[in-house]
Amino acid sequence: MQIINESFENAWSPSPTGWYQEEIASGSGGGSNQYWQQSVYDGNWLPAGHGDSNGAAAGNSVAWYNDYDAQAGQIDRLATNNIDLSATTNPVVSFYIYYENGGTTWNEISTSLTET
């Protein structure tokens, strides 16, 4: 049973419907305040250069975070509202990720589940 499937195809304002953005920690120093945004592939990525050259895993869009230009220590979250899994057994969360490694630091990408 599939509960949610998001390909990030619909317009963002400032997040896709059913999702929200949250700044967990502000950054400091060089760089600028960044946020999650939609990147669309039509043979090239817009904004430019952000993603696999084969396009998105499904559809033409992805959720993109510009960590290269972010301030040191900045942490932002793109999250869904609560999802009721009470009618499921052994639920599975999966997602596709593409990460370009051009720097000397690493970023943590994770899921968070809370039982209510």
pTM flag (> 0.95): no
- The string of pLDDT tens digits covering residues 85-114 is 888 888 887 887 776 666 666 666 777 777
The candidate with the shortest Cα–Cα distance to 56, out of 93, 96, 17, 94, is: 96
Tokens at residue 113, please?
A: 């589940």
| CA geometry: angle 74, 49, 67, nearest 5 deg | 5
Token pair 């817009």 in the structure block, residue: 46
Q: Which has more pLDDT, 23 or 107?
A: 23
Residue 39: what residue type?
Answer: S
